[in-house]
Amino acid sequence: MTIFHFSRRGSLGWRTAVMTVLLMAAFSPGADAAEATPPQDLAQFCAVPETVLPNGFLKHARDAYRAGKPLRIVAFGTSSSAGTGAASRADAYPARLQADLQERFTLPAEVINKSVGGQSARQMTSRLEDDVVSLEPSLVIWQTGTVDSVGNLQLEDFGRALSQGIEMLEKEGIDVILMNMQYSRRVELLVNYSPYVDMMNAVATQSGAALFDRIEMMRHWASSGRLDFDNMPRAERASRAAKLHECIALQLADMIEKAVRR
């Protein structure tokens, strides 16, 4: 890290140069959006366009619900599901989802968080047996893709790992919601997500797993100025991260409720 040192002055100069070249003066920065205060109503705040709205068929969860069994869900992800960056694990979406589902259903619902940071999809598949199947859930939220795209890991193998995992879970009578990456324009500058996002879409379509398009949702929340983590003052980060997890939990709960009640 030390040899790549930038003086503050140098970096400002670069930025100024870019600004000048692009004649920024003609455009007003999108400050209006960034300063918008969140509306009181959470559902309204977390709303996403129809095209991004998750929708899926969750057969086993629905059967469990109809049979009057408790709804058991495993959140199976990496750092962003473990709650890194949120104030605590209790602030991460799995805990919030559990609270939300308990409010919506009379039956007991629990969400067990089995997330470990830094694992690729392939590494996660070797954890499926112990961390998911043995708990006998009817649904697993499999959040993945980040580690693979950051490490530029083999795309084909990523796809195979996902299909194999989903197939195994399906055999065990467990539904899968695939959740893709977190959105950030700054990260997109350095990581090419699109082949991995496409692969997850394809695997979901081909295997019949449901897809929770987190990256597109977050893109929408960012571009509408509601949750833009790219240029966020340090003081706001914790509260906004909590808000993000609330929104993800809400969208998941909507999706699950719709699927089991249909």
Smallest separation (angstroms) from another protein to the CB of 249: 15
Q: Select 104 or 219, whichever has its Cβ closest to another protein.
A: 219
Q: Select 129 or 230, whichever has its Cβ closest to another protein.
A: 230
Q: Considering only CA atoms, which of 166, 176, 188, 104 is closest in space to residue 137?
A: 176
Q: Select 80 or 98, whichever has its Cβ closest to another protein.
A: 80
Smallest separation (angstroms) from another protein to the CB of 4: 4
User: CA-CA distance, 161 to 54, in Å (whole number)?
Assistant: 23
Q: Select 137 or 145, whichever has its Cβ closest to another protein.
A: 145
Residue with tokens 């970096």: 11
Smallest separation (angstroms) from another protein to the CB of 149: 9
Per-residue HEC secondary structure of 219-232 comes to HHHHHCCCCCCCCC
Q: Select 43 or 232, whichever has its Cβ closest to another protein.
A: 232
Give the C-alpha distances (Å, rounded to integers) separating 252 from 109, 127, 236, 255, 256.
14, 23, 24, 5, 6
The number of angstroms, rounded, from the C-alpha of 31 to the middle of its chain's C-alpha atoms is 26
Residue with tokens 């897809």: 211
Smallest separation (angstroms) from another protein to the CB of 204: 9
Smallest separation (angstroms) from another protein to the CB of 1: 5
Smallest separation (angstroms) from another protein to the CB of 80: 7
User: CA-CA distance, 125 to 203, in Å (whole number)?
Assistant: 15
Using CB under 8 A as the criterion, which residues of the chain lie in contact with another protein when the complex forms? 1, 3-4, 6, 11, 15, 18-19, 21-24, 27, 29-30, 33, 51, 78-80, 84-86, 117-118, 120, 146-147, 150-156, 181-182, 184-195, 198-199, 201-202, 205-206, 208, 219, 223, 229-232, 237, 241, 244
Q: Considering only CA atoms, which of 64, 80, 83 is closest in space to residue 72?
A: 64
Report which residue type is found at 160: R
Extended strands (E) in 170-234: 175-179, 210-212
Residues 173/138, Cβ–Cβ less than 8 Å: yes
Q: Select 84 or 126, whichever has its Cβ closest to another protein.
A: 84
